[in-house]
Amino acid sequence: MNYLRTAMLLAGLTALFMGVGYLIGGASGAMIALVIAAATNVFTYWNSDRMVLSMYGAHEVDRSTAPELVGLVAELASRAGLPMPRVFLMDEVQPNAFATGRNPENAAVAVTTGLMRQLSREELAGVVAHELAHIKNHDTLLMTITATIAGAISMLAQFGMFFGGNRENNNGLGIVGSILMMILAPIGAMLVQMAISRTREYAADNLGARIAGQPMWLASALVKIEGAAHQVPNYEAERNPATAHMFIINPLSGHGVDNLFATHPSTQNRIAALQQLAAELGARAAPSVGANENYPPRGPWGRSSSRGPSRGPWG
């Protein structure tokens, strides 16, 4: 079913891309757009993780450079039945995270240094488990391709503004078509992004909470991340808004209500769903992460999580 949805999304985005090409250059423009879309899809399939990680200046870490984080990811990945993903840090004050990669065998989890500083170990576990759920659900490829093609559609529409249409062009729709393209193409791409992200965030919340074993860890983390998103700008995300839906919380504005143009569901609604799941799990909840391993149930950088977050080794 995931592959069918991916194919349907690619077909829809490609059709939209071809429509923009038609408005710019008629039938020949549509064919050129089809070739570009096919090349973009192939390139994105093989390079999606590197593209997004490079965009945000993420650097890979291991057990020697970030033992607590990598150990936590390893334990949760094992609990989820996933191969160990690569782990990356982004030098970004805003707390946030995303996962990327074309499949579970080639996946990566990236978190910001702000997330490491502001969350307790339990909250961090909830966030990492959410991202692992995206990997297990094969969402990462879909979300990255959506971001890439949506960005390409917006750029093509901007190109059309300069290329322009003319009344004598029998292949396209002329000036009226150009105006419609500039307005409707980015909106269409954005609506596809929003629909994909909103439905999959609820699913990742549910599965991630089950992986971590404590739904309220994620709920607590969502509150902190959304609050920071209102106050701390993510400038790289502002420059690349087509990637906003990949993050656990919208890095652009942290919308608090469900509406047509929100990249994520309402955080309040997500928390309510997690509270309901917590009630359903009850005593069946899994033990704390690290309870029987080398990682005691403490805050991520050695301070008890009950005393609040501590600052990590990155500042």
Q: Are 133 and 211 in contact (CB under 8 A)?
A: yes
pLDDT surpasses 90 at 244:
no
Higher-scoring residue by pLDDT: 311, 210: 210
Give the pair of three-digit tokens for residue 79: 């609990």
Q: Is 86 helix (H, G, I), strand (E, B) or coil?
A: strand
Q: What would the pLDDT profile of 83-124 be if each residue is shown by its tens digit? A: 999 999 999 999 999 999 888 999 999 999 999 999 999 999
Nearest to 181 by CA among 3, 14, 17, 9: 17
Q: How confident is the model at residue 78 (pLDDT cuts 50, 70, 90)?
A: very high
Q: How confident is the model at residue 240 (pLDDT cuts 50, 70, 90)?
A: confident
Give the pair of three-digit tokens for residue 11: 């077909």
Q: How confident is the model at residue 58 (pLDDT cuts 50, 70, 90)?
A: very high
Q: Is 286 helix (H, G, I), strand (E, B) or coil?
A: coil
Q: Which residue has the tokens 């038609």?
A: 22
Q: Is 112 helix (H, G, I), strand (E, B) or coil?
A: strand
Q: Are 141 and 6 in contact (CB under 8 A)?
A: yes
Angle at 7 between CA 48 and CA 24, to 5 degrees: 80
Q: By percentage, how much of the chain surpasses pLDDT 90? A: 41
Q: What is the pLDDT of residue 32?
A: 77
Q: What is the pLDDT of residue 5?
A: 62
Q: What would the pLDDT profile of 186-209 be if each residue is shown by its tens digit? A: 666 666 656 666 778 999 999 999
Average pLDDT rounded to a whole number, residues 262-284: 85
List of long-range contacts for 307-314, beta carbons under 8 Å, 24+ apart? 308/120, 309/117, 309/118, 309/119, 309/120, 310/117, 311/117, 312/113, 312/116, 312/117, 313/66, 314/89, 314/91, 314/113, 314/116, 314/117
Cα–Cα distance between 271 and 7 in angstroms, integer? 31
Cα–Cα distance between 102 and 179 in angstroms, integer? 36
Q: What would the pLDDT profile of 154-164 be if each residue is shown by its tens digit? A: 666 666 555 55
Q: What is the pLDDT of residue 191?
A: 62
Q: Please, where are the H alpha helices in 56-138?
A: 67-80, 113-118, 121-136
- Top mean-pLDDT range of 24-38, 133-147, 203-217: 203-217
Average pLDDT rounded to a whole number, residues 255-275: 74
Cα–Cα distance between 86 and 240 in angstroms, integer? 23
* Residue from 92, 122, 123, 131 carrying the catalytic annotation: 131
Nearest to 149 by CA among 236, 44, 239: 44
End-to-end CA distance of the chain: 44
Please state the domain extents for the chain. 2-282
Higher-scoring residue by pLDDT: 248, 36: 248
Active-site residue 131, yes or no? yes
pLDDT surpasses 80 at 53:
yes
pLDDT surpasses 60 at 299:
no
The alpha-carbon radius of gyration of the chain (Å, integer) is 21
Q: What is the pLDDT of residue 293?
A: 40
Q: What is the pLDDT of residue 308?
A: 39
Residues in the chain: 315
Q: How confident is the model at residue 79 (pLDDT cuts 50, 70, 90)?
A: very high
Nearest to 201 by CA among 143, 152, 125, 261: 143
Q: What is the pLDDT of residue 170?
A: 43
Higher-scoring residue by pLDDT: 232, 315: 232
pLDDT surpasses 60 at 270:
yes
Q: Give whole-number Cα distances, 215 to 9, 143, 179, 270, 313, in Å.
A: 30, 24, 47, 11, 27
